[in-house]
Chain A
């Protein structure tokens, strides 16, 4: 009797430990990029896979770039650089900061929050915009100044017609500004408030239409997949179009989980976005994506992913919403955390880098084999992506440690350089063709 009881106890304990162990490894044979990615079956595990690549310094080394290019640190010691903007006069603006004020609702939020913190910088966000001027294009800015401070987690940036527009985590703000200025003394003026309750995904991405009349703002979801309740998802996981003249706004895309960077495709003038998809369905679900932001489209979140693939975690289920979910244009890989997007313009770098998009991938935490941690290049033709992504800047991960994590990317067609913001080493990298 005693022995049986003890054996039963031990067996249950062992079984439980086996059940709780971390998820399956990923299958390298699956193609998770392009228009029709392979999607494995859902694989939820009791303990979500959490693989943090611990931060390590660059120690004088630099990222890896293709042959024929050089890379160097353009600016260091920034305070969490995110997105960048190249002004008409060539000056570079860098938005620095960190936002979000999501309460910890469950023990999980406390534990996972602590673990994820291990993979991020310990620096406090600058909540400011830094200006860098390298007029002679030698890769060493001769001027660096804080353009404007005391912002509320600035992220998206745009310049139109005498105003600098800053997408803070709770508002689109504009400052009277002329390129050439190195400081802004006048206070900002609110163009429109942006949804900011909770701000689980706080980054507000921003771009402006080619003719300068309309803004596009990306607003991320307030949860992974509705676990804070669907009531807090009002006007979340959407892209807004804001009329510059009147400030009137319209929701053009919905169900677009976290549109972290927006950019205008130069040959067509259409708006594109990189979007971060949901976690905890397995190491190869769901691929983050690059897509044209289609007016009126519903991209599935939270009810389904990549079209009609049902997410069983969302209740009540909505068959009508699942039915109308559109597939995004182009998968970038699961958990790569695409945060940066900019198009090559005016011939780009030439050759295979003439027409296409640079994509900054911050890197994964929700899979055992890290993905992302690089800047990828996706070739376009006729305004559409045409080939598999290739690595453009890599080497952010070395021996399982993260030396950097790419965020925003900015291509300057007049200087023919690409800038990459790295919010782990707090650096802006500059990539240029070798001379």
Chain B
């Protein structure tokens, strides 16, 4: 992934590094949600709440890089991939924020069907965003 106009050596690795966090944290929140729904053991949903919060923090910073990438690189060929990446990441973040609120409810309501659905969507979207970002060569 190349951030046009910001193509200093540290930008690309930092962007990718940041992106790795929501990819793994949203995914693990899905696992801990499933664990909670299977066991009703409260600690699993506590884990989910922190994992989602972490995903939002790092995913938010990664999103700023992605937005800069989209704006500064919009006229380059292949920017449709940049757009798909950006929309997937932003959607994952917005749904993740909803999910953070969902996980602030008490006990079973902190996950339930709605929380699990959000966790699945966040995981899928962030995997799409990551796939595009990591498969990019010079530009995407």
> A residues bordering B, Cβ < 8 Å?
1-2, 5-6, 8-9, 12-13, 16, 19-20, 44, 46-48, 105-108, 111-112, 223-229, 280, 312-316
Contact partner of B87 (CB less than 8 A), chosen from A8, A107, A312, A314, is A8
B98, A313: Cβ atoms under 8 Å? no
B109, A312: Cβ atoms under 8 Å? yes
The reply on B107 being an interface residue by CB < 8 A is: yes
Q: What is the CB-to-nearest-CB distance from B7 to chain A, in angstroms, rounded to a whole number?
A: 24
8 Å CB interface, B14-57 against A: 40-43, 46, 49-50, 53
Q: How many B residues face the partner with a CB closer than 8 A? A: 29
B107, A48: Cβ atoms under 8 Å? no
In the bound complex, CA of A370 to CA of B97 (Å): 28
In the bound complex, CA of A2 to CA of B97 (Å): 24
B104, A226: Cβ atoms under 8 Å? no
B80, A44: Cβ atoms under 8 Å? no
B46, A105: Cβ atoms under 8 Å? yes
In the bound complex, CA of A419 to CA of B98 (Å): 46
Contact partner of A227 (CB less than 8 A), chosen from B94, B98, B100, B106, is B106
In the bound complex, CA of A68 to CA of B42 (Å): 54
In the bound complex, CA of A47 to CA of B50 (Å): 17
One digit per residue, 1 when the CB lies within 8 angstroms of any chain A CB and 0 when it does not, for chain B 66-85 equals 00000000000000100110
Closest A residue to B121 by CB, please name it. Answer: A12
A227, B49: Cβ atoms under 8 Å? no
Report if A313-B104 is in contact (Cβ < 8 Å); known contacts: A2-B80, A16-B97, A106-B50.
Answer: no
The reply on B110 being an interface residue by CB < 8 A is: yes
Closest B residue to A316 by CB, please name it. Answer: B40
Contact partner of B49 (CB less than 8 A), chosen from A6, A44, A108, is A108
Q: Which of B41, B97, B105 has the most CB of A within 10 A?
A: B105
A225, B46: Cβ atoms under 8 Å? no
Report if A12-B91 is in contact (Cβ < 8 Å); known contacts: A20-B98, A224-B106.
Answer: yes
Q: What is the CB-to-nearest-CB distance from B45 to chain A, in angstroms, rounded to a whole number?
A: 8
Q: What is the CB-to-nearest-CB distance from A324 to chain B, in angstroms, rounded to a whole number?
A: 21
The reply on B58 being an interface residue by CB < 8 A is: no
In the bound complex, CA of A112 to CA of B106 (Å): 13
A313, B106: Cβ atoms under 8 Å? yes
8 Å CB interface, B88-111 against A: 90-91, 94-95, 97-98, 100-110
A229, B95: Cβ atoms under 8 Å? no
A227, B107: Cβ atoms under 8 Å? yes
A225, B104: Cβ atoms under 8 Å? no
A313, B94: Cβ atoms under 8 Å? no
Q: What is the CB-to-nearest-CB distance from A1 to chain B, in angstroms, rounded to a whole number?
A: 7
B43, A46: Cβ atoms under 8 Å? no
Q: What is the CB-to-nearest-CB distance from B112 to chain A, in angstroms, rounded to a whole number?
A: 8
Q: Which of B42, B100, B106 has the most CB of A within 10 A?
A: B106
In the bound complex, CA of A289 to CA of B94 (Å): 40
A226, B106: Cβ atoms under 8 Å? yes
Report if A314-B107 is in contact (Cβ < 8 Å); known contacts: A46-B101, A46-B102.
Answer: yes
B84, A44: Cβ atoms under 8 Å? no
Q: What is the CB-to-nearest-CB distance from B58 to chain A, in angstroms, rounded to a whole number?
A: 14
Report if A107-B107 is in contact (Cβ < 8 Å); known contacts: A2-B80, A9-B90, A16-B95.
Answer: no
In the bound complex, CA of A46 to CA of B114 (Å): 11
A-B CB proximity, top 8 nearest: A108-B104, A46-B101, A227-B106, A229-B42, A313-B107, A315-B40, A106-B49, A315-B108
B98, A19: Cβ atoms under 8 Å? yes
Closest B residue to A17 by CB, please name it. Answer: B94
Question: Contacts of A228 on B, CB cut-off 8 Å?
Answer: 42
In the bound complex, CA of A230 to CA of B50 (Å): 21
Contact partner of B41 (CB less than 8 A), chosen from A16, A48, A229, is A229
In the bound complex, CA of A224 to CA of B109 (Å): 13
B84, A5: Cβ atoms under 8 Å? yes
Apart from A16-B95, A107-B49, A226-B107, list 17 A-B contacts with CB within 8 A.
A2-B80, A2-B83, A8-B91, A9-B90, A16-B98, A107-B50, A223-B106, A226-B42, A227-B107, A228-B42, A280-B105, A280-B106, A313-B106, A313-B107, A313-B109, A314-B107, A315-B108
In the bound complex, CA of A427 to CA of B59 (Å): 49
B80, A47: Cβ atoms under 8 Å? no
Question: Contacts of B108 on A, CB cut-off 8 Å?
Answer: 312-315
Question: Contacts of A2 on B, CB cut-off 8 Å?
Answer: 80, 83
B101, A20: Cβ atoms under 8 Å? yes
Q: What is the CB-to-nearest-CB distance from A434 to chain B, in angstroms, rounded to a whole number?
A: 47
Closest B residue to A106 by CB, please name it. Answer: B49
Could you write out 15 A-B pairs with CB less than 8 Å apart?
A: A5-B83, A9-B87, A9-B90, A13-B90, A19-B98, A20-B97, A20-B98, A20-B101, A108-B49, A108-B103, A111-B104, A224-B106, A313-B109, A314-B107, A314-B108
